[in-house]
Structures are given as structure tokens and as C-alpha cells.
Amino acid sequence: MTARAIWWVRRDMRLDDNGALLKAAKAEAMLAVYVHAQAEEGEWPLGGAQKWWLARSLAALDASLKAAGSRLVILDGEAAKVLVDLARKIGATEVVWSRRFEPAALAQERRVEAALDAAGIVWSGFNTNRLFDPEEIATKEGRPYQVYTPFSRACRARAVPAQPRSAPAELPSATGAPKGLSIAELDLEPTPNWAGGFDPMWRPGEAGAHAHLKRFSDGPVAQYPEGRDNPSIDGSSRLSPHLAFGEIGIRRVWHAAAKAKHAPAESIDKYHAELLWREFATHVLYHFPHTDLKPLRADYAKFPWRKDAAALRAWQRGQTGYPLVDAGMRQLWHTGWMHNRVRMVVASFLVKHLLLPWQEGARWFWDTLVDADLANNSLGWQWAAGCGADAAPYFRIFNPTSQAEKFDAQAVYIKRWVPELVRLGAEAAREPWDAPPLALASVGVVLGENYPRPVVEHTMARERALAALASVSKKG
């Protein structure tokens, strides 16, 4: 038995089904350590919404550890140096952690491994947050997948994910550990506080994750194929931020959905397909690490994107004049989250209607989403821009009006997030520019004054986007 072990806490902030924790807990004494090393996150340090979540997730984890007889130590600095120094200080002979697969995180791990090797300290990395290691899934030719459907078939052909393991009731604590930093010293809280709308919607931490899982598996999973596309109802799992911070294990989620007795097989299968899309995102970023900032399809590096600060600002603030787009962007700003169907619409609007670079959208989402995950964010934006793995063809341009008619026919979602339009009928709320002026005036809506006119006309924007695509094809 190892005398003393360090559990290096990363994006695995839970006790349940955590291979790294369970390995460390076999030692005679164990210390849980979170190292705040934002300088080692490369181009993608924590965004504002993630910082808000992290502060609460750390507090929840510390409370769980204390309940099990341990505690969380928070340190900052270069992870390799911090961990080696700490191991020497407390006499630890082993360091364990959960692997991350983002480029900067992998580079960080390599530095930690080298430093521990040089210090003669044993280490182990565990894949606790994905169903599959991205190196395990490959084509018959041994290459990484770039199309989702064959990737998902390859995943499903493997053994069913192992059953999750329960959290240990007690943990062996280590004496002589430093006090560490307080969460407040990490300066994670927004100033001024723009996150007032987050609290009613979210409960960061492992307990909140399990509560969301129970809510979803007891109800919405049964209608998931239809419910996931309706932004006006609570039809999605809302587990994405909990998964992003590792507050719940992916195997726990997979099996909870599979055991939902009231859910038809096709609903469970559809939800599992979404979990495998998350696996696919990790697979793509791991094998093509440049895709966080550069297109997977090299020809799109020549795409003639526009520069338009005013249009970008209108999109960011939900002031485009397209109600469904504006509703989504305001929901994001207010809650740190956006419904997935609407995410596709607002992303398409940025890269096709406004012809602005997908990287601008990726950075805005990174800063404002509580569930920001680099692999998902990169794949999603490249999908919208038509330049990534299994991407939607660029010439398929979402019409935000017809999308609203199809997925928010009664404008319930629009009216919730765009209160300027709440007194209009459903059709007028979806397309206020087509509503009779007297109808608008009768409810106090004045386009261009208290609700913007469209920043771009749909037909013109569509033709402009197709012309831009054609210019890339000619250059190629």
C-alpha cells in the first residue's frame, strides 16, 4: 500500500465513479489538491462564466471531501513544480489525476510526468470523464475518424461502458498539508456581478449534477428526440456544465438514461447518440489539436470573412432584430447557457448572415457559457461554419424566421427572452418587421427605437454567403 498519495484534482470534481480518487484512496493517507494554473491553459484560460461555476464547484467538492474525512487544498503556480514540491513536503510517493485531452492540458500533463519521474515519484493518469480514450477508436486503416456516424458505430460496437463505481464513504486524510488558498483568493467572482441570473438555474457541484440527472431520467428523457428541439420547454438534460467540470461521471449518465424504464428505446438511443457526439468532439480535437483556432478543412483558411465590430456587438448583445437569435443570445447572457437548437441558429447567423469568423463566436461562447468545453465548442463552431469534421455544408443556411416558426411556433421562448415583443401575436413576435405598423404601435413596439430592425436582410445575406463560398471554391 502506498504510504501517501496526492489526488491532483482537475476537471473531475466528484467523489462518485472517479478512478483517480479511488486509486489515491487506497493509500494510507491521501491529499486532494487543486492547482490553479491558468497560465498553462494556452489560448483558452477560464472564461467569465466558467470562473463563476468553478468557485462554487470547488466549494462543493471541499464540502464532500470534509464529509468523508478529508479536505481540499487549493494552490496556484506551475502544476509540475507545485505537485513535486508538495509531494516532498508531505512525503507522498504517488500522484494520480484524471486525464484531460485539450492540447494545453496534455502539454501540462507531460511536464508534470517528467517532473515526477525526475523526482522519483510514481504517477498515474486515468480517463474518468470520457467513455473512451480518443486513442482507442480508429478506422480500419488506423486513422482518426472525421465523420460522426462511423465513429459512433465503432463506439457502439465496443463493450457496453462499465457500471459506475460508488463514492467511498470515508477517505484517508493526510496530515502536515499546507493550508492553501481560499477560494476567494482565486478572484473568480465577476465584478461587477453580471451573473445574477445564474443562481436560480444552477446548482454547481456533485449534488446538483445528480439532481439534474434524476430530473432528466425521471421525465424529459422519454420525449428527448422531440423535446430537445423545443427551446420553450425543459426537454434537455442540462448536464453539460456538470460534465464539463467532471461533477458527474459519463458512465453514471449513460447508465441512468439506459435504465429509464418509462423511456422508449429510441429516446434512450438518441440521448446516447448525443453523449457519443461529445466523445467525437474530444476525438477530433485530440487528433487535430489545431482545430481550436484553425479550420480542419484547410481550404476554409482562405474564406473571405468580414470585419464588422458593430454587427458582432449586436449579435453578442441580442440586438440583431431577429427575435429567435436575440432570444438565444439574451438567454446566454442571463443564464450562462443556451438551448442547443438555438445555439445552431445563432451560430449559423454569425457565420452566414453576418459573415463573421467562427472564431469570434467560439471566443464569445467560451467566455459566456458555464458549460464551455474546448472540444465541444470547437467542433460545434466548425460544424456551423462548414469547415470542420462532419460539418454542415456551408451552403445550408438556417433561416432564423423559419426556424422560429418550426421550433417556437407560439413564440413562447422568444417572448420570454425578448420582453419588448411580449404583447405581440406569435407571428408578429417571430417576424416583427412584417407586422403592420399599427399593430406594432398598439402594443408600444417601435422598430429602430425599442426593438432593432434586422441588421441584415435574409435574402441578401444568403446570396452574400453563397458568393463567399463560391470564391473559396474558385481559389481552391
pLDDT of 393 reads: 83
> Which residue among the candidates 41, 277, 427, 433 is catalytic per the annotation?
277
Residue 50 has pLDDT above 70, yes or no: yes
pLDDT of 395 reads: 86
pLDDT of 475 reads: 57
pLDDT of 474 reads: 67
Q: Is the dihedral of CA 458, 367, 15, 123 positive or negative?
A: positive
Q: Is the dihedral of CA 244, 249, 252, 254 positive or negative?
A: positive
**Is 129 tagged catalytic?**
no
With cut-offs at 50, 70 and 90, classify the pLDDT of residue 174: confident
CB 426 within 8 A of CB 351: no
Question: Looking at 180-189, 300-309, 391-400, which range is the least confident one?
Answer: 391-400
Cross-strand pairs, 126: 98
Cell numbers 470542420: residue: 388
Task: Quick: pLDDT tens for 68-124.
Answer: 999 999 999 999 999 999 999 999 999 999 999 999 999 999 999 999 999 999 999
Task: Report the C-alpha gap between 464 and 467 in whole angstroms.
Answer: 5
Task: Report the C-alpha gap between 284 and 464 in whole angstroms.
Answer: 30
Residue 447 has pLDDT above 90, yes or no: yes
Query: What fold is seen in the domain 298-475?
Result: DNA Cyclobutane Dipyrimidine Photolyase, subunit A; domain 3 (1.10.579)
Question: Which cell goes with 36?
Answer: 490553479
More confident residue, 3 or 289: 289
- Return the CA Rg of the chain: 24
Closest listed residue to residue 239, CA positions, set 219, 279, 211: 211
CB 281 within 8 A of CB 137: no
Closest listed residue to residue 295, CA positions, set 357, 213, 212, 205: 357
CB 367 within 8 A of CB 45: no
> Which residue among the candidates 123, 358, 366, 383 is catalytic per the annotation?
358
Q: What mean pLDDT comes out for the span 277-289? A: 98
pLDDT of 420 reads: 96
pLDDT of 59 reads: 98
Q: What mean pLDDT comes out for the span 414-431? A: 97
Helix (H, G, I), strand (E, B) or coil at 94: strand
Asked: is 130-165+206-287 a CATH 1.25.10.10 domain? The reply is: no
Question: Which cell goes with 25?
Answer: 484512496
> Which residue among the candidates 189, 274, 405, 427 is catalytic per the annotation?
274
Residue 217 has pLDDT above 80, yes or no: yes
> Which residue among the candidates 97, 337, 364, 381 is catalytic per the annotation?
381
pLDDT of 391 reads: 78
Residue 392 has pLDDT above 90, yes or no: no
Domain boundaries, given as residue ranges, for the chain: 4-128, 130-165+206-287, 298-475
Q: What mean pLDDT comes out for the span 253-265? A: 96
Residue 175 has pLDDT above 90, yes or no: no
Q: What mean pLDDT comes out for the span 334-341? A: 97
Residue 1 has pLDDT above 80, yes or no: no
> Which residue among the candidates 41, 78, 194, 340 is catalytic per the annotation?
340
Q: What mean pLDDT comes out for the span 41-49? A: 97
**Is 274 tagged catalytic?**
yes
Task: Report the C-alpha gap between 274 and 331 in whole angstroms.
Answer: 22
Asked: is 4-128 a CATH 3.40.50.620 domain? The reply is: yes
**Is 376 tagged catalytic?**
no
Using the 8-state DSSP alphabet, how is residue 36 labeled?
E
> Which residue among the candidates 189, 305, 427, 433 is catalytic per the annotation?
305
Phi, psi for residue 94 in degrees, rounded to 5: -150, 140
**Is 340 tagged catalytic?**
yes
Q: What mean pLDDT comes out for the span 7-12? A: 98
With cut-offs at 50, 70 and 90, classify the pLDDT of residue 425: very high
Question: Which cell goes with 11?
Answer: 476537471
Closest listed residue to residue 198, CA positions, set 409, 32, 57, 408: 57
Task: Report the C-alpha gap between 365 and 329 in whole angstroms.
Answer: 10
